[in-house]
Structure 1
Amino acid sequence: MARRQGSAGLLGMLAEAQRQQHRREEEQRRAAAEQRRQYERAQREAQRAAARGEKEALRAYQQGREADLAARTAELDARVAELRGVLAAGLSGPAFRLSETSGRVEVPPFDPGPLGTPVPMPDQNRYLVPPLTGAQAYDPAARRWWDEQAAQARARFEHDWYAAQAAEQDRQRRLAEYRAGYEAWAAERRQLAAGQVGQAAQLAEQVRAGAAEAVVELFEAALRWRDDWPEGFPVECELAWDAGARQLVVEWELPPYEVVPAVARYRYVKTDDSEAEVARPATERKALYRAVLAQCALRVLDVLFRADETGLLDSVALNGVLTAVDPATGREQRRCLVSVAVERAELLAVALDRVEPVDCLVDGLRGRLSARPEKAEPVKVERSTASVGSVAPAPAAAPAGSPGTADGSDEPDLFTMDPIAFEELIAELFRRRGLVTRTTARSGDEGVDVLAEDPDPITGGRIVIQAKRYRKTVPPTAVRDLDATMSRQGANRGILVTTSGFGPGSRRWVDGKPLTLVDGPMLVALLQEHGLRGRLGSPVPPAERRAEPAVLSPGENAPLPAEEVAVAFRTTGAEADLTLLLLTADGVVRDDGDFVFYHQPTAADGAVRLRPLDGTANVRLGDLPDAVRRVAVSVNMDTDTGLTCADLGDAELEIQSGPAAWRFRPPADPAISAMLVAELYRHNGTWKLRAVGQGWSDGLAGLARTHGVDVA
């Protein structure tokens, strides 16, 4: 028994030792396996973290692209909203008041807008790669992988940081340029304000006296006064005043079709990291453009009638014009896309803040609006500025053997002429035009003053002529009565002649009918053409005539009657050089050869010649190339002397064109050393003169650089 017990005890001890050894080996194996699993988990976690960082960076980049395109789309939406609100913006602003705007021009404070916001710098924390943890921190492969990821992150950060730095520098540069432009603009506005002192009272007096040029100047100032038209909208116009009809005829430059964005929105395509433009539907774009044109017309009408403080206007005839390429010839030509004539009471009865612009213009005011303005399809012009004659034209030379004076004082006044003599004069006028005429008896004439027969066997026939010696606008009832009289007389044409004028209602009535309206200025021109005498009102005494040359104010313009223009600049103070620049429609020279100065005194094959020593120049407008749309006349000081335009003394620019001449005294501004004094410019096929007075503080270099001359 004892032996068996001892034997069993030894075996048990050996077995127990073996089991413990086995357990130790198993524990070591499990520990090694667990360590291997932890390492693999840590490695996978590091890989997931890196991938997660890349995905977040990619997602942030894509979100940035989407945000950028969304902002650009918002700009498009804002532009469309601005176009839809052209009329509302005009109605919300103050009316032009000559007495309130004289000598006081508001200069708003500098507003940098988006340029005032610095470019944000990238955050380095967003580029950090998560650190290695646990056993992976000691694993060489994991360390190499982490180093690669960290290097790539640093490279991305440095790239984005340098890009942001470049963007910030560009923003600061553009902000400085914008600020310099604002300072120049503000200085120009203040100069204009200084030059306007005392002019308002003088202009108002001339308007009250009925001076046609003063009336035109008043309403042109009203149209140019507001500077809140959308970008791309020209503020150019031509006006004529028909004193007899008390009608202002306006040609207003319309914006081109391109002001309506062709793109509706921008879309980001993630698959190939690109952006796509979604086009605006053609029907929407065309409808918006028509609405823009209608709003422009209504806004111009509103500005004019609101600016008429004294009730000078009975009506306004407005033509909206656009320079477009004729598809048949390939040449540019002026086309009328909007035409409307409106009487004062008619427009004031319309609540413009609650109308649909197109419906109001076409249906409410019976105007014409192009059906396809995007193709520049024209409409019939209501009345052009060229058709408006002078209120008191110069008298024609008296027939041989008849007495006369230089000022035309012997011309009979049509306003005070005996009624029978007036009818005889009208009969004689049409007799000289080839008709067989006779006046009717004073009683029983049935509304006919002169009966005429056109002897032409094909186009001839009977014509009834009604003569009205009026000082006020002929009412539309007189035109309708003539229409009825023509029918009663069996005539195939009717003519109404007056010493005054006609309103829009009368002109609309005769549209498409065999009726002709002859207003006062046209009547005087016809009389002169056929050797007859007559004037509208008393002649102006010589002592009251405006002396030549005429004095121009800043911004004032005048037509040039001749193609030969002489320019002379004189000063009793410091010396200054006269220079001229030949500019395109974009306001820049075609090349350096268009810069005429001391060392280059000719341009355009001699069409422009400068005599530097005596400060004079000659311009042959007819010989200038078609690409030259403006000739800028400027003076500049020698910047090395430190002198400015304030040192010029009694400076004066004189421009002569044929028998007409003008003087302009540029402002004596101590902040500038070069000044654009005046410009000759093309307008509707004719050349005109405008006084300017805009300056540059850096002298000739700034003047040249602004107009595209290489001064490097």
Structure 2
Amino acid sequence: MTRRSNSGPIGIWAETQRQQQRQQEAQLRARAQQQRERERQQRAYERDMARQSREQQAAYRQHQEADALRRTEELDARVEALGRLLATGSRAPAFRTAALLRSEQLEPFAPGALARPVPMPDPQRYQNQAQGGWGRAARRAQEEAQAHYARDLAAAQAAEAQRQQQLAAYRQQYDQWAAGRLAEIRRHNTGVGQLAAALRAGEPDAVAQYFSAALYSSTAWPEDMPRQVDAAYDPGAQQLVLTWELPGYGVIPEVKSVRYMPAADRYKETARPVTQRRALYRDLLAQCVLLALRDVFAADESGALESVELSGFVDDHDPATGREARIFLAAVTATRTAFDALDLARLSAVDCLVDGFHGRLSARPDSCVAVRPGRLPDDVGAGAVSQTPAPRVPEARGSAAGDSAARDSAADDDEPNLYAMDPLDFELLVADLFRAMGMEAVTTQRSGDGGVDVDAVDPTPIRGGTIVVQVKRYRHTVQPTAVRDLYGTVQHTGANKGVLVTTSRFGPGSQAFARGKPLELVSGEQLVELLHQHGLRGRLGPTERPPVPAAPPTPDHNVLGVSWSGTVVLDVCALVCRGGNVLSDDHFVFYNNPRTPDGTVTAIPPTAPDRAALRVAFDALPDRADRLVLATAIDPTVNPDADLSGFTRAGIRLLDGSAAELGRLEVSDGRPGETALVLGSFRRRAGGDWDFVMGGKGYPGGLEALLRDYGVDVA
């Protein structure tokens, strides 16, 4: 019996079942393979993320450790500078009456853009435009060219007439200012001559005033040291009797070192031992007394002094009464002969004061343990002078000009000069301003304030909170280190905000560091404006600069409109440069400085489709400038975690003064990880034309890194 092949319906069904089973097995194997591949990719991703996390943690730890080291080094440098105060200050030049003289050389007449005539249209260019064609069309083109030339010529001539009129008016203003300023300088210098004569004659008032000015104007003292002096002259003994304010205990850093603790992710401050801090403070007080004696004896060019009796004090709370009082911590009498024999760079200040001159120095100055002062200026009688403002020289006597100057001075005194205020009075004025703005504010103790001059509380819900305020009565630009120190104080105290108030100004380095942080910087001009807004008074010294010329007619200016896609908030800025360096801080146009001093580059509101705009008068830019750099940066306040990956489809529209579009300039897109970008630069060529060069250099460090590249100090 033979076996039949399985070719019937059952065989077909079995074969179908086997094929389906093989397909299912293949699908299972494919899904398993896909699952293994996903798991492999997930493990690779997790390893990569773990590696990036480790790298970020290592970079963060390295940054925190470096910041702790920097703070420790700054503390060490501060202590070292205080320990070398006498040695360093003794090398400062001696004060002379000649230092009180003012130069008669005034700022020259500088009309700026008004000095450049308005260019007249070239008829040849219009004639060339009318060439071509023939017959009636040629005549029509020539007529239109002549009419266009006539209109442009009339407009240029009108602008030139207006320029000449403005130039003449400004020249008249300048001449009036120069005459008044020169007369004031000559009255002042005549007063200096009379003061020198009175000093040689030994007049008590003149002697006391001169040496008070010598102490107050000395370049031997750091900016943050107090300079309050009361002086009187005893002509019979040829002795100067004075009181001199000493720095408070808070000048010695309470912290010795800073260490970063990665496990707790916080800084640990090591306190300076109390005995060490007291010894440093005591030595500093002795140095201050000797340095003040040095300044006085060095300034004695007329030989008026045989000896000086000095009592040093601090304004602090009396431990016995708890009230604010003048506490004397040092007193000494020194003769010229004995003082001239000293080597100030090598001696021990405490030993010299106590043993050499048999002076008195508080054993516990940190606790305000007072010593008995010597003779005080009020005990001398005639010739007592109190000097807390800037030194003032009497005007020339016996002249109508002197009387007029006195009246002008009295008028100026009605509005207090912030530069000349006592530091404590300045702090009180700032506290008054905060209270006038609806906040609670008190000044801190002058010692142990931890870098805080005014404590304020803003009661406004949500945006209010505690505010720490530092005040700097400076004339020079505040350095970025002061802003960085304020930020450290905010972090240390846990305040909601820090405010730095100054009589001077802040550079772009300070502005860049404060950007995106709970800091607010108030310049001198802003301070005066706020004072006036809230019914308080203050001015920034006398008006000593010539009038600013009016803006000339500038029909030839352009508008640069910047646009981009995406929702990231950016700031567009401009730098007027020579080569790779900005001309000055004032030639960096950004959110806090919307124009250059001459107004040739100004930030203006944009018009659609632009998102930022600048008005630029290229022909009026300073002669020493050879490029205008455009850049953009992330606003960390609005987008703290953003980068420039969203800065795409960007471009610059070049418009003329009537907003007609002249062309479009392409710029580079942003890249991930970068927070600032150079869009491009306009560069001045030999013939005076400006060409645009596309940029593209990005900075992961934001605006601070970009500014460093262009020579701005942001340390």
Which TM-score bucket, shorter chain as reference? 0.3 to 0.5
Highest Rg: 1 or 2?
1
Give me the TM-score of the superposition, normalised by structure 2.
0.41
Give me the TM-score of the superposition, normalised by structure 1.
0.41
